[in-house]
A = this chain, B = another copy of it.
């Protein structure tokens, strides 16, 4: 047999005797991942079964149905991509964008810029409309831009993880229908935590992640596609220029044919099935209300400590809050202090907000009054000491 061929000796230079894994305890109050629900972790560790096992095939249907509820959509093509949220983001672009078509991206943060990058790689003619990081777009601004560029796709971010802004969605779906353009929406930091109505809002393509509002570890990218977007995919000339994320192939596995495409990440799907089940058990309205109450408690507490929030109250996400770093404080050092001495992760600023804000997430399982109190107490006791330390060190 094949292994009896002449073989070289095994090189031991990269052979390392590492210990078994042990992980420090962390409270993850950054932009994600958030802590996972214990029963989700338990589901993750169930023994794997085959990706074509009848039991697994049933589970796939359950995950799809639970995702439809979470997103409030009837879309047939609603499924978790076998990668993180970024892979689902790329899937929305890869499937519907054809070369030289105009994609208009509304950029008011880091993830808008990522959409620009991705659309360019799929050879779109990319146009942008921009707003400062921390602001949102008005319907009028969007309409002017759509009228000017007549895009095939308007791509925008519902919940900007880099800024903490929640984009008001009223009228945008109607606008896109009027101009025969698909509406593509980033819901990475809203799914499960913030009111979200894919069908009511006329959204044609959306993506999210597993590790924020859903209380599951990162590794899956929920994806949904409307019948309008499906039609565009059917009409496209040539294959989708991305095999792994090709929805026309994935549809044959997730649809009734059950044709093998790739080996599904079965354990991650066990996890997200439990995470979505828990969301369904709590009920969307209750989850949204819980996120709202805890966010309001955080905002009040931070403001009572004299801290300034980066986003005006009417545009604030309840899942992620951006706090301005006070003058004289090295934000990164405070992050490290919380992590190393208190086991708490909060996020640093990204892009144009780097060094200017902290990002505090209260998402899914982590959106509790106890966590709000814990982080507020640390801001109260540690931040002043920290300011002094910084002053002494200077």
Contacts and interface: CB of A to CB of B under 8 A. Distances in A.
A273 B285 CA distance: 39
A67 to B, nearest CB: 8
A263 interface: yes
Contacts of A284: 10
A200 B8 contact: yes
Contacts of A47: 23, 25-26, 35-36, 41
A83 interface: yes
B14 A262 contact: no
Given A7-B195, A15-B69, A350-B260, A241 B41 contact: no
A216 to B, nearest CB: 9
Given A85-B262, A260-B350, A239 B18 contact: no
A261 B118 CA distance: 13
Contact of A118 (B25, B169, B243): B243
Contacts of A65: 14, 16
A244 B288 CA distance: 31
B243 A121 contact: yes
Contact of A33 (B14, B33, B48, B268): B48
B209 A242 contact: no
Nearest to A316: B1
Determine how many copies of this chain the complex contains: 2
Interface string A140-167: 0000000000000000000000000010
Interface string A104-130: 000000000010011011110000000
A41 B199 CA distance: 38
A85 B261 CA distance: 11
A292 B84 contact: no
Interface size of A as a range? 35 or more
Nearest to A346: B50
Interface stretch (A274-282, A323-331, A369-377, A383-391): A274-282
B8 A266 contact: no
Contacts of A314: 1-2
A274 B55 contact: no
A273 B21 contact: yes
A217 interface: yes
Given A21-B274, A292-B3, A313-B1, A218 B263 contact: yes
Nearest to A276: B18
A21 to B, nearest CB: 5
A229 B120 CA distance: 24
A301 to B, nearest CB: 15
**A25, A69, A217, most chain B CB atoms within 10 A:** A217
Nearest to A85: B263
A265 B36 contact: no
B292 A1 contact: yes
B45 A45 contact: yes
Contacts of A11: 72, 199
9 contacts: A14-B74, A33-B263, A44-B44, A48-B211, A49-B345, A86-B244, A121-B240, A123-B241, A219-B219
Given A90-B244, A117-B239, 10 more contacts: A7-B195, A10-B72, A14-B65, A21-B277, A32-B263, A33-B51, A36-B48, A50-B345, A117-B243, A218-B265
